[in-house]
Amino acid sequence: MTEEGHAPASMPRVGPYELLRRIGVGGMATVYLARLGGVEGFTRIYALKVLHPHLATQPEIVTMLMDEARIASRIQHPNVVGIVDLGESDEGVLYIAMEYVDGVSLDRLLAPKPNFRPHRLIVPIAMDALLGLAASHDLVGDDGRSLELVHRDVSPGNLLVGTDGIARITDFGTAKARARATRTMPGVVKGKVGYVAPEVALGRAFDRRADVFSMGVLLWNALTGQRLYDTDDIAKNVAQLATLDVPPPSTIGLGPPALFDEPILTALARSPDRRFPDARAMYEALEDALAMSGGEPPRRQIGEWVETSFARLLEKRRELADPDFEVRPVELSSDEGEDATRSFRTVPGETSELAALAAPEWMSAGPAASEAGSTEPPPTEPPPADEGSDRTFRLALLFVVMLVLGLATGVGILFLLTQLA
């Protein structure tokens, strides 16, 4: 462990990659800004996705990471984040090296100004994503047959918007494909609640039109400033999918132009047969609507939106990527994001993530040890004297709530099944 204000003797590495900054954390892995050095001072910057150490011993998780790299590396398209390397360090750390996008995810771009949702900038971002999805849907295997790839996790957090004005789809970790080595267990829903299509939520057969539905949700939310399916509970989400009549986005929240109502509502049809047949068809419908609303803006305007909104954050990343830059402690305000993704430094009472990565025991540490720097259990408060009666009341209340929720969900599922039949 290093002390605050003192740089480590050398930056930790994963394989040949030098870790510079943590830029994202997910359920399966952490993404770092990383640098790869070469001869004569040559360097290149990547986004390095490193599997959480406590998951490295789970074969299914390891296979998922390898599936992601193997499948996504086949997609060569300007609107898909490229995969350039899959490897394992000498310490047994699994990683994927990806193209680094100088920008931020769409959810972060929209967050600072909830009432600033310009359709002339947001719709082209969605159109980029649709082209990336179309390329992934059209992917074929070595035998020339379609891989039947479905991203299954289309959401603002998996859409990166660059300072070059181009948006790119990323994270194929939960994608469904014919060639995948892993299979989803029955009853398990993959994807973000609130964005999954009805057939996915119900565990029924699905295809590329499920991604079209997710893009419809993404656009509806982004343009209105509201959440169409405003729950993080899968059971409640299923009930909403079954019963909610989707209002035209032009009538809700920030009220985007009515020209976009038809393309978005078509994408959000409950029955896949009533949606666009593929992502390219939805792209063309949005392209026509955008042309009638004034036309697509220059890409530089989207890039300027990203650059001006996250100037300090992006500049700090660029400084860290410079091989001649001396890394110093970074203080970022929470509204710029990455308050949990500072340069690798230690503050009193905390364990530096870099120090944890460099330590020999890093691979053997469980989630609590690797995140908090200690496996010591937190202190517990003595229970109150009337805890027994209070617990009985809470259990009874929980039973009633679950019963009511279960009945509502059951009715919703039956209704949704009749709609999809």
State how far the Cα of 195 lies from the Cα of 154, in Å rounded to an integer.
7
State how far the Cα of 342 lies from the Cα of 100, in Å rounded to an integer.
17
Asked if residue 409 lies in contact with residue 235, where contact means CB atoms within 8 angstroms, the answer is yes
Phi/psi of residue 247, nearest 5 degrees: -75, 150
Confidence check: pLDDT of 401 > 70: no
Asked if residue 356 lies in contact with residue 346, where contact means CB atoms within 8 angstroms, the answer is no
DSSP code of 17?
A: E
Q: Which of 1-5, 231-235, 274-278 has the lowest mean pLDDT?
A: 1-5
Q: Kindly list the catalytic residues.
A: 153
More confident residue, 131 or 238: 131
Numbered ranges of CATH 3.30.200.20 in the chain: 13-100+311-362
Confidence check: pLDDT of 231 > 50: yes
Tens-digit pLDDT profile for residues 37-52 = 877 777 899 999 999 9
pLDDT at site 320: 86
Tens-digit pLDDT profile for residues 254-265 = 999 999 999 999
Domain 103-297 class, CATH top level? mainly alpha
Q: Which run of H or of E encompasses 86?
A: strand 83-88
Domain 13-100+311-362 class, CATH top level? alpha beta
Numbered ranges of CATH 1.10.510.10 in the chain: 103-297
